[in-house]
Amino acid sequence: MEGKRPDIERLTRLMERLRGLEGCPWDREQTLPSLVPFIIEEAYEVVSAIDSGSFEPVKDELGDLLFQIIFASRIAEEAGQFGLSDVIDCSYDKMVRRHPHVFGDKEATTPEEVLRQWAEIKKGEKKPEGAKAGCLSGVPETLPALLRAHKISQKAARAGFDWKDVDEVLKKFDEELKEFMEALKMRDAAGMEEELGDLLFTVVNIGRFIEVNPEDALRKTIGKFITRFHHVEQEIISRGQDLSSTPIEEMERLWGEAKAKEKNPKKPTP
């Protein structure tokens, strides 16, 4: 395996200094569990930067995420478990093992064949002690619910448990919608929760069939909603009016205005 690049070494030396006796008091007291929220936050900031469509923020946020990996590896190394070089070696070996169509004698000519092969190889790999076995294992419980549902439905489909086409899923959606409406009419709180969950899970499967990740779709819709609502809010405030006392008809008009701006943005002045 190739040696570590000098820029990685600079960052690892920086981490060593921060964790050293004359380093940063905050950095010295961190543990692997205490880093969890920061790792999650940085990962989402990478996603947000990618959504922006600009490479510069992606570079910046990837650097922040990389630093968290180096941070966690340093803590583990101090505990006598593993270091960054072990993490890199593990990743390298795993990627070679899971790409036998590139580094071995297997064949996979389509992305679908690659994914099926990947799943089979992963299933045969040694699981960490205490890990659950089975086709649906390996999906972290800490993932956002929509993303977790998407990954679980993918795994089930690869095992052969799936509808034939999107039309069948749409029929299932209609079925789940009727069941939700029945629970709604009965004002059955537990039933409404259960049926809404079934409805959402079916929507996730519709997304899978049309190759749309529901987590990505919802995240972008939320961003769109925030942008439009901000326009409504700013317009009302600029008039010296209160948002809560503005008629819904006027708010909907401003919402439509914001929506129209998205479809026909003003061209930048040269």
Q: Is residue 19 part of a domain?
A: yes
Q: What is the mean pLDDT of the chain?
A: 91
Domain that holds residue 23: 8-91
Tokens found for residue 30 = 């961190």
Tokens found for residue 48 = 């947000």
- With residue 24 as reference, give the H or E element that holds it: none
**pLDDT > 80? residue 42:** yes
Residue holding tokens 């049926």? 195
- Provide the residue type at 252 as one letter: E
pLDDT computed for residue 199 by the predictor: 97
pLDDT tens for each residue of 153-196: 999 998 899 999 999 999 999 999 999 999 999 999 999 999 99
Task: For residue 119, name the pLDDT band (cuts at 50, 70, 90).
Answer: confident
pTM: 0.70
Average confidence (pLDDT) over 241-250:
94
Contact 107, 101 (CB under 8 A): yes
Tokens found for residue 227 = 């942008």
| Residues 174 and 235 occupy one common structural domain | no
Which residues, in sequence order, are CB contacts of 203 under 8 Å at separation 6+?
173, 214
Task: For residue 231, name the pLDDT band (cuts at 50, 70, 90).
Answer: very high
| Residues 239 and 183 occupy one common structural domain | no
Q: Is residue 134 part of a domain?
A: no
Q: Is residue 176 part of a domain?
A: yes
**pLDDT > 70? residue 103:** yes
Contact 201, 149 (CB under 8 A): yes
**pLDDT > 90? residue 266:** no
Tokens found for residue 160 = 């052969």
Which CATH number belongs to the domain containing residue 28 in this structure? 1.10.287.1080
CA distance 103 to 115: 16
Q: Is residue 221 part of a domain?
A: yes
Q: Is residue 125 part of a domain?
A: no
Q: Is residue 118 part of a domain?
A: no
| Residues 205 and 228 occupy one common structural domain | no
Q: Is residue 113 part of a domain?
A: no
Return the percent helix, strand and coil in the chain, to nearest 5: 70, 0, 30
**pLDDT > 50? residue 270:** no
CA dihedral 95, 97, 98, 102 (to 10 degrees): 90
pLDDT computed for residue 125 by the predictor: 82
Q: Is residue 247 part of a domain?
A: yes
pLDDT computed for residue 4 by the predictor: 54
- Provide the residue type at 37 as one letter: P
- Provide the residue type at 125 as one letter: E
Task: Count CA atoms within 13 Å of residue 259 on its CB side.
Answer: 8
| Residues 187 and 236 occupy one common structural domain | no
What is the SS3 assignment for 223? helix
DSSP 246: S
Tokens found for residue 39 = 């790792």
Tokens found for residue 215 = 């987590």
Distance from the first to the final alpha carbon of the chain: 50
CA distance 91 to 87: 6
**pLDDT > 70? residue 146:** yes
